[in-house]
Chain A
Amino acid sequence: MEVRELICIGCPMGCPLKVELVQGQALKVTGNNCGRGEAYAKKEVSHPARIVTSSVKVEGGTQKVVSVKTKEDIPKEKIFDVIKCLKDIKVQAPVHIGDVVVRNAAGTGVDIVATRTVTTGP
């Protein structure tokens, strides 16, 4: 049986996790202080995923860029594909929190949404 040691990224506590693996499948998770830790450990050993945050250009707004995020976590190996698809995006102000900026980013099935409001301005 293989044992993998992880640090939970579910919240800032950073619990040290031990995952007992049989044929790549998580059998038992210890060291977690909440359900989020167990879910993270099971996902991390099979399909690691991350929420990606970045920014895209805004035209006609009070500031030049607006911050965005993937609405849900996406497969870790897709991080740079998602970032790439944001490179040439320009949105028109006003932008509101939660507005969809890109649908189905890089084929992940996950939308990119704005995380702040940018009003029209100089």
Chain B
Amino acid sequence: MLKYEIVIVGGGPAGLAAAIAAKEHGAASILVLERDGELGGILNQCIHNGFGLHTFKEELTGPEYAARFIDRLFQAGITYKLNTMVMDISADKVVTAINREDGMIEIHARAVILAMGCRERSRGALNIPGFRPAGVFSAGTAQRLVNIEGCLPGRKIVILGSGDIGLIMARRMALEGARVQVVAELLPYSSGLKRNIVQCLDDFGIPLKLRHTVVNIHGKKRVEGVTIAQVDERQKPISGSEIYYECDTLLLSCGLIPENELSKTLGVQLNPVTSGPLVNECLETSVEGIFACGNVLHVHDLVDFVSQEAAAAGTYAASYIKNSTGHEKSRDIPISAESGVRYTVPNTVHPQRMEEKLTVRFRVGDVYKNCYVSVYVDEKRLIHRKKQVMAPGEMEEVILNKEELEAYPGMSKITVKLEED
């Protein structure tokens, strides 16, 4: 059986940053397992710019951002296997993987970092009526076809959902000569970044119809058109508001779901809100020595934050194998997300164990204007910060101070919530 101190499942932005940080913090043997034929994950097909402003203070494209981390991984001499699919992870940290060279392999690890990323919500999960013709793609599939395979999936496009990949693909298809007729969004706001509405839709005169959805897909062999209708407050289509758009392609950009099949089999407890693992402030899951980071933990907007989070996971995993003691869970204080805050990462904090500062990331459930983000320790308010605008599409953060928390040794709960005043 192969033996490594740390096995990292996934060689995308999270896996790369976790591996590099673990090495820098003293882990001697690290193995990264990647199921694709190259490292870098989804960054390879994200050829647009805007990556790395936080990390490198310059604006890079996805492949350039990935290349910087891949170079550092090479320089650090970290081992990796490509075209390798992890089949199972056991609670005693035996990772079973398979590839064409080695066949089935078992790797014994002392710590495992989950960095599998996420996948797109598919047509089947969206309940769109109509036939099942060719020409319905997830936005990410279309992105791969255009940017990696070099072929255009269609010429007349309708996009459902205004997630960032959908917005980016609207521009990409327009640049490649396709006609993007409309982007329809079920919600009253876009879940994409504002900058992408400006530079991907407004720049190209592509209309965004909020509170609209696809109610029918026409065509039997190939998509011939779609019907879009307005929806009411309960998201039900309004009769009489239907508009027919002729098109040969429908792209779906309707949300991302963390890919946690391996975590579930392993017995890791998931947060029903994020579909990602519940973690403590060391990004360790409910199973000791199993850490999680990146989009498998919760879906991020910015790769820079994925890299930061993953570096933290790598650092904690390295210190876990050094100290080789289980994390004492009895003193973990739960962090509760309430009134407007959908979830937080991490879900618990151990005030004695935590570093000087802890970044708690969260998302809000609706668009809020001139609200306060508040953090309570039991009944005592510690943080009260005004925010002009908060939207579900943009991840927020608060920073907890060890010194402040240690002033409340008997605390039972930390609450992050929104308040009007």
Determine whether B64 belongs to the interface, using a CB cutoff of 8 Å to chain A. yes
Chain B binder among A21-29, A50-58, A99-107 = A50-58
Q: Is B233 an interface residue (CB 8 A)?
A: no
Number of B interface residues at 8 Å Cβ cutoff, please give it.
Answer: 30
B199:A50 contact, CB within 8 angstroms: yes
B4 to chain A, nearest CB (A): 28
> Among the listed A7, A51, A97, which residue makes an inter-chain contact with B49, where contact means beta carbons less than 8 Å apart?
A51
A9 contacts the other chain (Cβ, under 8 Å)? yes
Contact with A along B132-155 (1 / 0, CB 8 A): 000000000000001111100000
| CA distance in complex: A83, B48 (Å) | 14
Chain B residues positioned under 8 Å from A52 (CB to CB): 175
Give Cα A76 to B205, complex, Å. 13
Which among A6, A12, A63, A97 has the highest number of chain B CB atoms within 10 Å?
A12
* Given A50-B203, A53-B49, A83-B175: A7 in contact with B63 (beta carbons within 8 A): no
B194 within 8 A of A: yes
Contacts known (A116-B44, A116-B67); A55 close to B150, Cβ less than 8 A? yes
Please provide the chain B residues from 271 to 294 with a CB less than 8 Å away from any CB of chain A in the complex. Answer: none
Cα separation A115 to B62 with both chains bound (whole Å): 8
Q: Is residue A75 contacting chain B, with contact meaning CB distance below 8 A? A: no
Q: Which residues of B contact A117 (CB under 8 A)?
A: 67
Q: Which residues of A94-122 have CB atoms within 8 Å of chain B's CB atoms? A: 97, 115-117
Q: What separation, in Å, do the CA atoms of A106 and B47 have in the docked complex? A: 21
With a CB–CB cut-off of 8 A, which chain B residues contact A10?
A: 195
Across the interface, do B199 and A9 meet the contact criterion of CB distance under 8 Å? yes
Q: Is the CB of B47 within 8 A of A55?
A: yes
**B112-135 near A? 1/0 per residue, CB < 8 Å:** 000000000000000000000000
Given A53-B47, A64-B149, residue A116 in contact with residue B195 (CB < 8 A): no
B348 to chain A, nearest CB (A): 29
Which residues of chain B are near A76, meaning CB under 8 Å?
Answer: 203
Closest CB-CB distance, B95 to chain A, in whole Å?
28
Report the interface size for chain A: residues with CB under 8 A from the other chain. Answer: 29
CB of A53 within 8 A of CB of B53, answer no
Answer yes or no: B107 CB below 8 A from chain A CBs: no
User: Residues of B contacting A12 with CB < 8 Å?
Assistant: 50, 53, 193, 195, 301-302
A5 → chain B, closest Cβ, in Å? 11
A75 and B389 CA atoms in complex are apart in Å by 31
Considering only residues 26-52 of chain A, those with a C-beta below 8 Å from chain B are 50-52
Within the complex, the shortest CB–CB distance from B144 to chain A, in Å, comes to: 11
Interface string of B63-79 (1 = CB under 8 A from A): 11001000000000000
Q: A14-B194, A54-B176, A65-B150 are in contact. List 14 more A-B contacts (CB 8 A).
A: A7-B195, A7-B198, A11-B59, A14-B198, A50-B199, A50-B203, A52-B175, A53-B49, A53-B61, A55-B147, A63-B148, A64-B149, A67-B63, A116-B61
CB within 8 Å of A: which residues of B?
44, 47-50, 53, 59-61, 63-64, 67, 146-150, 175-176, 193-195, 197-199, 203, 301-302, 389, 394
